[in-house]
Amino acid sequence: MTCKLSVNINAIAQLRNRRDLPWPSLVNLGRIALAAGANGLTVHPRPDERHIRRSDVPELDQLIRSEFPGREFNIEGNPDARFVEMVEDIKPDQATLVPDDIRQATSDHGWDISRHYSFLSDVVSRLQSSGIRVSLFIDPEPHLPALAAEVGADRVEIFTGPYGGEQNSKIRDQALQQVIATGNAARDAGLGLNAGHDLTLENLRPMIVALPHLEEVSVGHCLTADALIYGMADTVRRYREICENSASGQSG
């Protein structure tokens, strides 16, 4: 299985929002990423619209549907009423449900599924009735995929921040083992597997090699930082090379 790359463009939107100007253009940079081989785009509209704005969502959806049919649009966020209604209106390929709130700088934890069991069951069922694949954002804890399967999720996305953002090699290796164990538990539960947060050109390959059934990685902050060095198109190609060659067992 080849792991797919979804480019998260929130950081680009946050840069745009520093000024009341239309650049950098999310549509133009999204187009460059897709033309360079990205399998899809990810957005995370928050209530305060500090990066992705609600008005951006249909424009990006139209970009994919009209110019890159077959690529995927992933909308992630906290499933409050406004979010669910927006997702039902857009009908992206995937909705990733994330338990964040307006006070968080970025997503920093996954669902307590037991605590929100009924709520998640209802939201998952409602979105699936519109033909949308639903993924739950979870911490790297091996007991969680089975619960995600119970509430009806199609996939889980493992929060890889404790692995990707760790500078101490010993702690990072321990965090990777937790990601691997959780990924294997997702496979055993019959779920598709995604991963995302603080993934880089350096730490992406070991994770994909260890999880050959990993279906998708969502990369945003680090990919955007790399694009300042290499340009968006070349950066996407570098991440795609890792996704393709690691999944096929080739060395870097």
Is-contact 109 91, C-beta < 8 A?
A: no
109 catalytic residue (yes or no): no
Which of the following is catalytic: 44, 51, 72, 216? 44
- Per-residue confidence (pLDDT) for residue 223, from 0 to 100: 98
- Per-residue confidence (pLDDT) for residue 251, from 0 to 100: 44
pTM for this entry: 0.95
Which of the following is catalytic: 51, 157, 197, 215? 197
213 catalytic residue (yes or no): no
Q: What is the mean pLDDT of each run of 10 residues along the chain (252 residues)?
A: 96 94 96 98 94 97 98 97 98 96 69 98 98 98 98 98 95 98 98 98 97 98 98 98 78 44
44 catalytic residue (yes or no): yes
Which of the following is catalytic: 72, 76, 157, 216? 76
DSSP 107: -
**Token pair listed for 120:** 């998640």
Rounded to the nearest angstrom, the gap between the alpha carbon of residue 23 and the centroid of all alpha carbons in its chain is 23
Closest CA to 176 of 201, 211, 136: 211
**Token pair listed for 134:** 């639903």
